[in-house]
């Protein structure tokens, strides 16, 4: 690998590009934006909940210390530790085991879920719950024997508040409690991975590895999408209007172009940010390669919602990195749309009378209108958790269609109370993440945070026109990446202190 680096560094092309970048760095347009460092105080340390739980934690600390002392004096434990040290230092498998972290498995969620659903369908619905419980047991053992304390964040309380409000709604307004519980799990359960990820991402090395697993994994899905487009993979559903001439929409292992599009919206800005965040040329090339493949793949999904989402995500990233480039990027995207007929036809079709008529007769606009009409019957409490527009309602034949807006689906199911609590959760999370980013001083970490934040915003925008958070892997990845920003900030705090 070092030989390849030297060849690249000594090449004419690399040095030529380097000189151009150096020259551009002095220009007004290419000059990066500057952000002042803002100290972000961890206000949750002063919260009432923490002060209430603090005596309990001190009491547990004393008991755990007694257990650790007993273990350290135990001959059996000493023998096990000696065997463990020998295994982890003398074999490749042992060294890999020592470097293992459950965060890497969570980063590969979509691959594991797809594999289990195709090979072991009998455990497809419980494997992630089993993993969740195993990680909790592992974290408890780590707390007792290694004194690894729980790491709080200011986002914890927003998630807990939303989970409690939704649980109350499930009990208060549920004609069928089984459906309510199933609907509650579909909405809340996958958000809880956030709490585990914050605990698992305890070092900079683990965080960087996790981010690279995300990029390489989703990048390979992007490569598979390009392969599907080249081989003209058959579409699995009625994904194109009869008036359009599109023959292939890629979907990869997600089985849906919109699902693949949402995945790419989330990770394109992250891969793009890694080009700027890393100084190593090999890592820059890998990040650039997967950024290009993901961008090509999202074009081939022909998902207008994903296109709009990634467009917003790129704009937000440029607002952080270099505001002056926004005009150039927007111009380049418009030229791309105008000169590629398939893309232009897909976008321009939205503004035709034919699309409006079809959309009002069973299409998106009809579904929006119907959803608002249904919500008006119970504005404050909604129709009930899991009873409209989502996978749970569809499985129980409670909804005439699958809703094409997660926000309208949430409003109709949970009313103003549930929807309001969800909006509070999202807005408070975005605000707190922004403060975490502004409170970070290390440039590399800050750029990665820019990419993650932009991807999260892109997905939130796409949720206006698609039901993205109905996909378990999207909810897991969304909140896992929120945890990455929190973990990066925590590492920066330890570095500064």
Domain residues for the domain of 207 are: 177-496
CA end-to-end distance (rounded Å), the chain: 35
449 is written with which tokens? Answer: 């945070």
Task: List the one residue out of 356, 408, 420, 410 whose CA is nearest residue 384.
Answer: 410
- Give the whole-angstrom CA distance, residue 492 versus residue 495: 5
195, part of any domain: yes
- In a 3-state reduction of DSSP, which class is residue 458? helix
Per-residue pLDDT of the chain in tens (497 residues, 90 and over written 9): 676 777 676 676 766 666 666 666 556 555 666 665 565 544 444 455 566 666 766 676 666 676 767 766 676 666 666 666 666 666 666 666 678 899 999 999 999 999 999 998 888 889 999 999 999 999 988 888 777 888 888 899 899 999 999 999 999 988 889 999 999 999 999 999 999 999 999 899 999 999 999 999 999 999 999 999 999 988 887 777 766 677 889 999 998 999 999 999 999 999 999 999 988 888 999 999 999 999 999 999 999 999 999 999 999 999 998 887 888 888 888 887 777 777 788 888 888 888 888 888 878 888 888 889 889 888 899 999 998 888 888 888 888 888 889 999 999 999 999 999 999 999 999 999 999 999 888 999 999 999 999 999 999 999 999 999 999 999 999 999 999 999 999 888 776 65
Any domain includes 139: no
Count the domains in the chain. 1
Q: Is residue 313 in a domain? A: yes
83 belongs to a structural domain: no
Residues with Cβ < 8 Å from 280, sequence gap 6 or more? 5
Cβ atoms of residues 349 and 355 within 8 Å:
yes
pLDDT value for 41: 44
Please give the Cα distance from 219 to 215 (Å, whole number).
6
Give the DSSP per-residue string, 414-428: HHHHHHHHHHHHHHH
Residue 8, class by beta-carbon neighbours within 10 Å (0-12 exposed, 13-18 middle, 19+ buried)? middle
**Tokens standing for 180?**
């309510």
Helix (H, G, I), strand (E, B), or coil: what is residue 156?
A: helix
**Burial class, 145, CB count within 10 angstroms (exposed 0-12 / middle 13-18 / buried 19+):** middle
Side-chain-side CA neighbours of residue 159 (13 Å): 21
Cα Rg, the chain, nearest whole Å: 25
Helix residue ranges, H only, 189-340: 193-200, 204-230, 257-277, 281-301, 304-321, 326-339
pLDDT at position 46:
44
pLDDT of residue 485: 96
Q: What is the pLDDT of residue 52?
A: 62
What pLDDT, on a 0 to 100 scale, did the predictor assign at position 333?
A: 81
- Tell me the C-alpha to C-alpha distance, in Å, between residue 250 and each of 157, 259, 302, 307, 474: 39, 10, 8, 14, 18
Q: Phi/psi of residue 367, each to 5°?
A: -70, -40
Q: What is the pLDDT of residue 152?
A: 84
The per-residue pLDDT for 351 is 81
Which of 234, 213, 36 has its CA nearest to residue 111? 213
Query: Is residue 162 within 8 Å of 421, Cβ to Cβ?
Result: yes
Task: Please check whether residue 394 is in contact with residue 128, taking contact to mean a CB–CB distance below 8 angstroms.
Answer: no
User: Could you give the count of Cα atoms lying within 13 Å of 304 in the half-sphere of its Cβ?
Assistant: 16
Residue 224 counted as domain residue:
yes
Q: What count of residues does the chain have?
A: 497
Q: Residue 222: how many CA atoms within 13 Å on its side-chain side? A: 28
d(C-alpha 202, C-alpha 214), whole Å:
17
Task: Give burial (CB, 10 Å; 0-12/13-18/19+) of 462.
Answer: buried
């Amino acid at each position: 690998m070092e030989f390849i680096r030297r060849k690249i560094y000594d090449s004419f092309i690399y040095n030529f590009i380097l000189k151009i970048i150096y020259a551009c760095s002095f220009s007004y347009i290419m000059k990066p934006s500057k952000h002042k460092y803002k100290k972000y105080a961890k206000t949750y340390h002063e919260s009432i909940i923490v002060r209430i739980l603090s005596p309990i934690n001190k009491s547990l600390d004393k008991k755990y210390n007694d257990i650790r002392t007993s273990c350290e004096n135990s001959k059996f434990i000493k023998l096990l530790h000696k065997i463990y040290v020998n295994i982890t230092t003398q074999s490749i498998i042992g060294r890999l085991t020592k470097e293992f972290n459950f965060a890497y498995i969570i980063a590969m969620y979509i691959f594991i879920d797809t594999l289990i659903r195709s090979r072991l369908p009998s455990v497809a619905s419980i494997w992630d719950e089993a993993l969740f419980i195993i990680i909790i047991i592992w974290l408890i053992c780590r707390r007792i024997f290694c004194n690894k304390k729980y790491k709080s964040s200011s986002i914890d309380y927003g998630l807990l508040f939303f989970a409690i409000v939704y649980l109350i709604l499930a009990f208060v307004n549920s004609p069928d409690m089984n459906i309510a519980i199933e609907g509650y799990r579909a909405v809340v359960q996958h958000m809880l991975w956030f709490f585990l990820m914050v605990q698992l991402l305890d070092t900079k090395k683990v965080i960087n590895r996790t981010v690279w697993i995300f990029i390489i994994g989703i990048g390979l899905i992007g490569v598979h999408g390009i392969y599907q487009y080249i081989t003209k993979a058959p579409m699995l559903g009625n994904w194109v209007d009869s008036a359009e001439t599109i023959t292939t929409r890629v979907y990869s292992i997600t089985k849906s172009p919109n699902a693949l599009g949402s995945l790419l919206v989330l990770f394109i800005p992250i891969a793009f940010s890694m080009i700027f965040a890393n100084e190593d040329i090999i890592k820059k090339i890998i990040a650039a390669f997967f950024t290009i493949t993901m961008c090509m793949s999202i074009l081939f999904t022909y998902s207008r919602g994903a296109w709009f989402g990634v467009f917003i995500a790129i704009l937000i990233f440029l607002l952080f990195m270099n505001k002056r480039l926004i005009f150039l990027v927007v111009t380049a995207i418009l030229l791309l749309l105008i000169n590629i007929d398939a893309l232009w036809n897909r976008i321009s079709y939205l503004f035709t009378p034919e699309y409006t008529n079809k959309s009002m007769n069973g299409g998106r606009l009809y579904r929006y209108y119907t959803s608002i009409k249904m919500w008006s019957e119970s504005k404050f409490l909604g129709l009930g958790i899991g009873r409209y527009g989502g996978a749970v309602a569809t499985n129980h034949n409670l909804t005439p269609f699958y809703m094409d807006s997660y926000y309208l689906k949430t409003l109709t199911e949970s009313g103003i109370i549930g929807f309001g609590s969800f909006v509070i959760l999202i807005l408070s999370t975005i605000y707190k993440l922004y403060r975490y980013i502004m409170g970070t001083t290390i440039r590399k970490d800050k750029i990665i945070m820019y990419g993650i934040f932009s991807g999260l915003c892109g997905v939130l925008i796409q949720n206006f026109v698609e039901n993205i958070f109905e996909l378990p892997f999207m909810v897991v990845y969304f909140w896992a990446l929120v945890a990455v920003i929190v973990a990066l900030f925590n590492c920066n705090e330890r570095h500064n202190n």
